[in-house]
Chains A and B, each alone.
Chain A
Amino acid sequence: MLWILLALIFLGLLGYVLGRQRAVASASGDVRELHSLPNYYGLNVTLLTLVPALLVLGLWLIVQPIIVERTVAGQIPASFMEQVENPTLLMTEVRRLAGGIETAIERGFLNVEDAANLASDTDIRAQLAEAGVALGADVSTEVLAAAQDFRAMNATGATWMLIVVFALAFAGLAYSYVRTHKDLRARNRVEYAILSILMIASTLAILTTVGIVLSMLWDTRNFFQLYPWQDFFFGLEWRPSFEGGSELGLIPLLWGTLYISLIALLVAVPIGLFAAIYMAEYATKRVRSVAKPLIEVLAGIPTIVYGLFALITVGPMLRDYFAQPLGLGDSSSSVMTAGIVMGIMLIPFVSSLSDDIINSVPQTLRDGSYGLGATQSETVKQVILPAALPGIVGAVLLAASRAIGETMIVVLGAGAAARLDLNPFEAMTTVTVKIVGQLTGDTDFSSPEALVAFALGLTLFVITLGLNIFALYIVRKYREQYD
């Protein structure tokens, strides 16, 4: 693999030098005659040499294994398939055997002919074990045949890949070299190529999101085949049990998530916003230069440290001074604990973003208001905050998505008991905590207890997506009115 890349890069460099030379020569050495700077002619050749070849190489590497696997799987006799208890594991076995044979050849325990003539009646497992490859089970004839097919097809594929990739590289090099002439608009071509690269980069980001959603959708679908969706979305109980008969209701988790997030926002939004107003409008330069970085330090603290703070300080304090005297419970992990600590974590998000937004409100608006005899506080309330509102809403919703996705503070602050309760001094838990819970330890990915994690994840994704869309809507609505 590596040498293919190196060879391609070498070809690209060669193309650069050749293209540049040819362009300069076509202008009989006078660079001013060229349509573009000489470098662009070189780059143009390099790009045409490398880009198609690399694209095909990448595509080939993705597509070949899929095709090979399909074909090999199709060639395994159906009668044999029926005997095997777990058909999905069969392909793994084939792949493992094929890989093992390759490794053995590489390490010199088998030569190529021996490898081709391996028979299932000899003890392949022992032979390969000698070469340091461990196989899970004895090799059957059908698996061996499939593995040999697999190897053969991969080898042919690799050969063809080399031929095609280098043919493309050479073709690109030759074509662009011949086309290089002093009137060629090399600069425009190179810039177009760069534009395409930028476009591909942004497309990749979008495609990744789509990919994540699709993979979650797949497992979520599997989950809903094992567990009725009504019971998931409307179930009021969360009692997973790996022996079966679990109740996997979303409502208690969702309630915990929203309740804790609400308390966190109730803490973070006023404090953060007021801090931002003070920083942006009232604080002197010196205070600001000290206080702003200090507030932002809060954003740098890992959430697990906040969790510890919740566990050993805030939780017991709330229990001893509020919950117990008021008779509201005696649990040190509670919605209140997690909510308050999470709120503290979110303060810098709200304050820092709001501060930037308030600062970006034009000074002319402030002058206009002062010029009419408004006080500073009237100006802040009636002119600056309305003008900054879309941005502030954005900041708050960003904080909300952070709150909904937060895990560590909840585990340590609110506990892991799924409960549907109004009392903020009771332990509750959130969706994220349960996703971690369901996927920790021994998990069987065919049981609803594990697969429910994907359904939870997707639900969370949809909620945050909805929140973001709502934020965009709000921002746009006020933009229309205010800009």
Chain B
Amino acid sequence: MEDGNVNDMSGIDQGVAVTGTKMKARGVDVFYGDNHAIKEVDVDIADKTVTAFIGPSGCGKSTFLRVLNRMNDTIDICRVEGDVTLEGEDIYDPKVDPVQLRAKVGMVFQKPNPFPKSIFDNVAYGPRIHGLSRNKSDLEEIVEKSLRRAALWDEVKDRLNAPGTGLSGGQQQRLCIARAVATSPEVLLMDEPCSALDPIATAQVEELIDELRSRFSVVIVTHSMQQAARVSQKTAFFHLGNLVEFDDTDTIFTNPSDPRTESYITGRIG
């Protein structure tokens, strides 16, 4: 396996929280029943950076993303081995409550999935269940801030009580981002957030991802290499469950060190 420079550097002080590194995965294996879906993956997620996972369908990039906030726990037959730390703390430690973890590592899904509630209630969902607001005006402030951050405020401020499901696809996805942002997570995971959106909505969401980088560390799984090149600073290329290459986005796209990466980004495999 070919590792980039950053990976080598952080590998030296394994187990210690390095400034700038938010999450660290070491030797992660994932099994679905007998199927070995992820093989010995090491990745560092840097703070205030967009990290993109690219690779052909079925390469395990979404599975690995779900390792980072233990969403795989909801699948019975799924088994995860290896170390994953958030700020130096093992997130698979029995002491860690996966529910608490997911408040810190938020997630946005492939298909916009607003709850069957009003726009306001959708965004207020996380703050309410985690008790993040002292009173109603506090909550309103969080909702407004989150919607602004998701670049949706101007479009919905007059109809916060309208159902979230009535918005357009792009608006729904930004609502889901606002909903994830409202719990003030430390890491935001995005699983192909633009695959169900048209080009205009995609552009809006991409712009949004770039802005979010100033506050969170963002991990995005994408099928579109252009998207990875546009929004990310770090890119990991997965193939058949292996992490083939992990490096600065510029390096991956201009000067990949692994022939498989080159084949993929030039369109010969995948």
Please give the residue numbers on chain A whose beta carbons come within 8 Å of chain B beta carbons, in ascending order: 362, 364-375, 378, 382-383, 386-387, 480-483
Cα of A9 to Cα of B144 in the assembled complex, Å:
74
Knowing A364-B109, A373-B99, A387-B115, the reply to whether A482 touches B129 (Cβ < 8 A) is: no
Tell me if B180 is interfacial: C-beta within 8 Å of chain A: yes
A382 contacts across to B, CB distance below 8 A: 115, 125, 129
A483 contacts across to B, CB distance below 8 A: 116, 165
30 contacts between A and B (CB under 8 A): A365-B113, A365-B115, A366-B74, A367-B113, A368-B109, A368-B176, A370-B102, A371-B71, A371-B106, A371-B107, A371-B109, A371-B189, A372-B103, A372-B126, A372-B179, A373-B102, A373-B103, A373-B129, A374-B99, A374-B125, A375-B99, A382-B125, A382-B129, A383-B116, A386-B116, A481-B116, A481-B163, A482-B165, A483-B116, A483-B165
Knowing A383-B115, A483-B116, the reply to whether A367 touches B71 (Cβ < 8 A) is: yes
When C-beta atoms are compared, the residue in chain B nearest to A479 turns out to be B116
B129 contacts across to A, CB distance below 8 A: 372-375, 378, 382
Q: Which of A362, A372, A374 has the most CB of B within 10 A?
A: A372
Tell me if B157 is interfacial: C-beta within 8 Å of chain A: no
5 smallest A-B Cβ distances: which pairs?
A: A373-B103, A371-B107, A482-B116, A373-B102, A364-B113
B36 contacts across to A, CB distance below 8 A: none
Closest chain B CB from A367 CB (angstroms): 6
Cα of A373 to Cα of B106 in the assembled complex, Å:
8
B74 contacts across to A, CB distance below 8 A: 366-367, 370
B125 contacts across to A, CB distance below 8 A: 369, 372, 374, 382
Encode B114-150 as 1/0 by CB contact (under 8 A) with A.
1111000000011001100000000000000000000
Please give the residue numbers on chain B whose beta carbons come within 8 Å of chain A beta carbons, in ascending order: 69, 71, 74, 99-104, 106-109, 111, 113-117, 125-126, 129-130, 163, 165, 176, 179-180, 183, 189
Does B103 lie within 8 Å of A386, measured CB to CB? no
When C-beta atoms are compared, the residue in chain B nearest to A367 turns out to be B109
Cα of A364 to Cα of B69 in the assembled complex, Å:
16
When C-beta atoms are compared, the residue in chain B nearest to A285 turns out to be B76
When C-beta atoms are compared, the residue in chain B nearest to A390 turns out to be B116
Does A372 lie within 8 Å of B180, measured CB to CB? yes
B176 contacts across to A, CB distance below 8 A: 368
A368 contacts across to B, CB distance below 8 A: 109, 113-115, 176, 179
A362 contacts across to B, CB distance below 8 A: 113
When C-beta atoms are compared, the residue in chain A nearest to B122 turns out to be A368
Cα of A383 to Cα of B114 in the assembled complex, Å:
10
